[in-house]
Chain A
Amino acid sequence: MKLPEAAGLLLAFVARLITGAQGHWYGCPPKAEQRIYFANHQSHFDWVLIWAALPHDLRSATRPIAAREYWTATPLRHWITREVFNAVYVSRERSAEEDPLDPLMEALDHGDSLVIFPEGTRGHGSEPAPFKSGLHALALAFPQVHLIPAWIDNVQRVMPKGEVVPVPILCTVTFGAPVALQPGEERRAFLDRARLAVIALRHVR
């Protein structure tokens, strides 16, 4: 076993020890097909939680999005995102010649699955903020990729903003039924529908 793989297993173990990281597959089974998981975003811990909730085989083919400026700033951050998580780097600053979605499109062209947080930033309230348009663009460009909504519960209690050490509290990730872009559907209507699909998973028992 190589070092990144071992580090990944250790991280998943710690995440499970602290949060339980239970995945509830409510609307779809865990399956090795190309998918975009989209979820509510409340904490830095969200990605690790989804990743730990996935079955082991699916983890290597499922990639997070990382802000290039922050996650390549130190060697350790760069190593973790590159070697362990195989992250897709995105620039925060928008330049004229480059579309920020290009790296995501490239990863999807390779056949990888992605995890995205369409709110853009971490939310404060109990409801997720309106979704940004990236999800729509990806759905339009890759109609064959399944879009899976996910609701992450309780994670804001594990590590509130500004704290460094997580408190052990059980969290769950509920995965819902795939949402597909209807022919001729408006962008805003689709994004609102996707957001409601995420919120609906909160009350699933």
Chain B
Amino acid sequence: MDSLRSLAVEQQVALLFVTLFGLLTLTTLLALGRSLREREAAQQVRYERFRRDLRAVWTGAALFWIAWASGALVSTLLFGVLSFLALREFVTLTHTRRGDHRSLLLAFFVVLPVQYVLAATRLFNVFTVFIPVYVFLAIPVVSAFGNDPNRFLERTAKIQWGIMVCVYGMSHAPALLLLDLPGHAGRGAFLVLYLVLVVAAAQLAQEAASRRLRRRPVARAISRSFSWRAWGVGLAAGAAAGAALYWSTPFDPATALALGLVAGGAGTLGEFVMKALKRDAGVRSWSGKPSVTGAVGLLDRTAPLCFAAPVFFHSVRWHFGV
């Protein structure tokens, strides 16, 4: 591990991408080899799901590489577009009225670009408070000018929630990429990778555990698979993944473990919250089949990241006192 730590940043980054794409290629080849065999119907369903997930991982990895290789501007732009698509999906699922038109325009065409410009220019102090403080006031003001008191609080709250998750949360991913910690400049890619891997490990472990353990679900109406023990397994997996990756980060092993715990917990709970939102909107399954509104599940896939990124970002900044 120490030999890995002593490499130059560029070498580490190169190693990182070679490992990442090597693993992906290997998995794809193995899956291809297995797909040639005959399967039963249940296996076929499982395989289809696996292939879909694998494709999503490939897309994610490619995006991540493009984001890193093309620098601050393109990576922020890329996450900005992702944010736009996620917010579009969110707004589709909530019931807005005619009076919300102007505040939605504000959200899409002013708040979203400004937030990403703030991230790209590394104005992290403004970046952190812009949406929770200034936009928090601006949205209800514009909505009130819409002259429609009908379910006002509900509508405004929904728009603000959407902005918080899809814009504020997501914008912390490029912010991490651009975050220069004292003595660790240019290593933002590792922070993003650390976050993504930790959250993914926590999610996968939780899912596997809930299938094996068959515990009583905590909130049956929202998720049939979420139980405290499975969540604990996910948390432990997140922490373990975090500690195992400590060499790639500016943290010492204990901090890496703690941050893995924080990020994994935030990601899995974020996914749980998104499930509740899905139930509320009456969407049974997002992943795969598009529903009538055409929502194709981008929100579903990015939700854990949207919730975990701000928590992780601010924990890191707080820890380093920047």
Contact = CB atoms under 8 A, between A and B. Distances in A.
Interface stretch (B11-19, B64-72, B287-295): B287-295
A6 to B, nearest CB: 22
Given A154-B92, A157-B96, A167 B294 contact: no
A172 B293 contact: yes
A167 B110 CA distance: 12
Contacts, number: 43
A157 B87 CA distance: 15
A163 interface: yes
Interface stretch (B40-48, B101-109, B182-190): B101-109
A129 interface: no
B294 A22 contact: yes
A170 B109 CA distance: 16
A168 B101 contact: no
B229 to A, nearest CB: 35
A165 interface: yes
A176 to B, nearest CB: 14
Query: Helix, strand, loop or mixed for chain B's interface?
Result: helix
A204 B292 contact: yes
Given A157-B96, A165-B105, A172 B292 contact: yes
A36 B262 CA distance: 58
Interface string B123-152: 000000000000000000000000000000
Interface string B183-224: 000000000000000000000000000000000000000000
Contacts of B89: 170
Contacts of A165: 105, 109
A21 to B, nearest CB: 8
Interface centre among A22, A157, A168, A171 (most CB of B within 10 A): A168
A20 interface: yes
Contacts of A110: none
A172 B294 CA distance: 6
B108 A167 contact: yes
Interface in B260-294: 290-294
A20 B101 CA distance: 18
Interface centre among A157, A169, A172 (most CB of B within 10 A): A169
Given A168-B88, A169-B92, A170-B88, A205 B101 contact: no
Interface string B283-310: 0000000111111000000000000000
A205 B283 CA distance: 11
Interface string A148-183: 000001100100100101011111101000000000
Contacts of A153: 292-293
A20 B290 CA distance: 11
Interface in B29-80: none
Interface in A116-130: none
B292 A205 contact: yes
A123 to B, nearest CB: 15
Interface string A42-59: 000000000000000000
B91 interface: yes
A169 B101 contact: no
Nearest to B295: A170
A205 to B, nearest CB: 6
A24 B294 CA distance: 9
Given A168-B84, A169-B92, 13 more contacts: A20-B88, A22-B294, A160-B101, A165-B105, A165-B109, A167-B104, A168-B87, A168-B108, A171-B293, A172-B292, A172-B293, A205-B291, A205-B292
Interface of A: 20, 22, 24, 153-154, 157, 160, 163, 165, 167-172, 174, 204-205
The 3 A-B pairs of least Cβ separation, nearest first, read A22-B294, A170-B92, A170-B294
